[in-house]
Structures are given as structure tokens and as C-alpha cells.
């Protein structure tokens, strides 16, 4: 791919697929081996920048970054970390929409490796199964811990919920700040990006409006 095309894709945050592009050999190395390799690479980057890694403050940085990449920030690349999405029967026959909103999103822009920070709002209409509320947070967290494009993150959350619940009737809206836009490039600290994915009944205007109204609700929880 030509350099200009790479820049264009990156600056416009265009994803090439709904699937995270992973190599076939993504899990040949163990986490320990990956940490070892990445810390050497980070050390090289830092040295190339001219930093003195004998300084006490910088000495541990390559290892810290490598551990954070493998275990935390990009831990969601590993399918073994996919949270269990066990569901329960909807015994109380609640047939209305359930919305969990303001779920914290900490992800990483795959074009610049800078943070994406925001909130996800998920809604679903049960067709017989219900999912634990904290499971929804865990699904968001799992897919956030990858190099991401916000559109793909939104779609992956909806698809995981649809699979777990056995229904198309799932929606997700994410409102997030991209530090690659806020702190560099165009340096717009105010802007945020909204993405949405509406499945099944949520494609209906009334259902969609109901969902959007709920996520706009501001309840004063403290007096």
C-alpha cells in the first residue's frame, strides 16, 4: 500500500472489516514471549528517540509498556479472554426494552495507538433470554481491549450480544473522544465521535427513538 493511502486510511479512521485483522499465527507465542519481544522493541523506539535508558525513571518503561500491551490494553485480542456470556431464562416475562447506559469505554485507536475514551449504551429486547448486567460491561471491556476503530467496536459489541441472547434485537451507541484527534493532528479537544448499530426491532423508528430517549435521560442519583 502506498504511504499516502496509509495516511488517508489512518487520518479518516477507516476500518477495512468488521473483524479485527489478526494474523493466523497470532497466538503461537506465549504471553511471556510476547512481553519479552515487545519490551525489546519499545526499548529500541525509546533509544532511537534519543532517550537514556540507564536513567532510573526510564529503565523499567519497556517492560511496563510490554506488560500493559499484552495483558491489559490489547488483552482482548485473545479469544480466551472473551467473557462467558451465559444467559438466564426471562422468568419474569419482562418484554420491554432493557438499556444499560454510560458503560465506560477505554480503547485504543488502531491507526495511531492512542486512547479512545468514552461511553457505550446498549439496549436489547428479550426474546426469552436475559443477560446479567455486568456481563454487558464485560463484553464492552473485552472488545475495547484491542486496537480498534470505533465503528467496528460498536458492531462487535452488538454481534456478541446478539449471539449470547439469540436475538437480532440489540442496539449500541458509543460516544467517545479519540486522543489522536484531541491531542495531535487537528487538536480539537472538544469533539467526540458517535457511532451506532441498530439490529432487528431497533431498525424501527419508534423503537430506536425510545432507546435514544432512555440514553438521554439524566437521573440525579445523589441529592
Which amino acids are annotated catalytic? Answer: 109-112, 150, 178, 180
177 binds Zn ion (CB under 5 A): no
Asked if 149 touches Zn ion (CB under 5 A), the answer is no
* Stretch of 33-41, 78-86, 163-171, 177-185 contacting Zn ion, by CB under 5 A: 177-185
How far apart are the C-alpha atoms of 198 and 169, rounded to whole Å?
Answer: 8
Among 43, 111, 121, 145, binds Zn ion (CB under 5 A): 111
Phi, psi torsion values for 182, nearest 5 degrees: -80, -35
**Interface with Zn ion, residue 109, by CB under 5 A:** yes
For residue 148, the minimal CB distance to Zn ion (Å) is: 10
Asked if residue 112 binds Zn ion (CB under 5 A), the reply is: yes
Tell me the three cell numbers of residue 129.
433470554
| Residue from 180, 182, 201, 207 in contact with Zn ion (CB under 5 A) | 180
Nearest to 173 by CA among 140, 142, 131, 132: 140
Using rule CB under 5 A, residue 146 touches Zn ion: no
Nearer to Zn ion, 10 or 200 (CB): 10
Helix axes of 133-144 and 150-165: crossing angle, nearest 10 degrees? 140
Give least dist CB 195 to Zn ion, A: 14
Residue 213, exposed/middle/buried by CB under 10 A (0-12, 13-18, 19+)? exposed
CB of 153 to Zn ion, least distance (A): 13
In 3D space, the residue among 108, 148, 144, 113 whose CA is nearest the CA of residue 41 turns out to be: 113
Among candidate residues 114, 94, 203, the one with its CA nearest the CA of residue 158: 203
CB of 173 to Zn ion, least distance (A): 20
Residue numbers of the site for Zn ion (CB under 5 A)? 109, 111-112, 180
Amino acid at each position: 500500500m502506498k504511504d499516502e493511502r496509509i495516511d488517508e486510511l489512518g487520518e479518516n479512521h477507516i476500518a477495512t472489516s468488521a473483524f479485527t485483522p489478526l494474523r493466523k499465527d497470532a497466538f503461537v507465542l506465549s504471553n511471556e514471549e510476547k512481553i519479552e519481544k515487545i519490551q525489546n522493541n519499545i526499548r529500541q523506539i525509546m533509544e532511537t528517540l534519543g532517550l537514556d535508558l540507564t536513567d532510573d525513571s526510564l529503565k523499567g518503561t519497556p517492560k511496563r509498556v510490554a506488560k500493559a500491551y499484552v495483558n491489559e490494553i490489547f488483552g482482548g485480542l485473545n479469544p480466551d479472554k472473551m467473557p462467558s456470556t451465559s444467559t438466564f431464562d426471562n422468568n419474569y416475562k419482562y418484554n420491554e426494552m432493557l438499556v444499560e447506559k454510560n458503560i465506560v469505554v477505554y480503547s485504543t485507536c488502531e491507526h495511531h495507538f492512542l486512547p479512545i475514551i468514552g461511553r457505550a449504551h446498549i439496549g436489547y429486547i428479550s426474546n426469552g433470554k436475559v443477560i446479567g448486567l455486568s456481563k454487558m460491561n464485560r463484553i464492552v471491556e473485552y472488545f475495547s481491549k484491542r486496537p480498534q476503530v470505533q465503528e467496528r467496536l460498536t458492531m462487535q459489541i452488538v454481534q456478541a450480544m446478539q449471539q449470547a441472547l439469540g436475538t437480532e434485537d440489540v442496539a449500541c451507541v458509543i460516544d467517545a473522544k479519540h486522543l489522536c484527534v484531541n491531542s495531535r493532528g487537528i487538536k480539537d479537544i472538544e469533539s467526540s465521535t458517535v457511532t451506532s448499530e441498530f439490529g432487528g426491532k431497533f431498525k424501527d423508528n419508534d423503537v430506536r427513538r425510545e432507546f435514544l430517549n432512555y440514553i438521554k435521560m439524566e437521573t440525579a442519583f445523589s441529592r
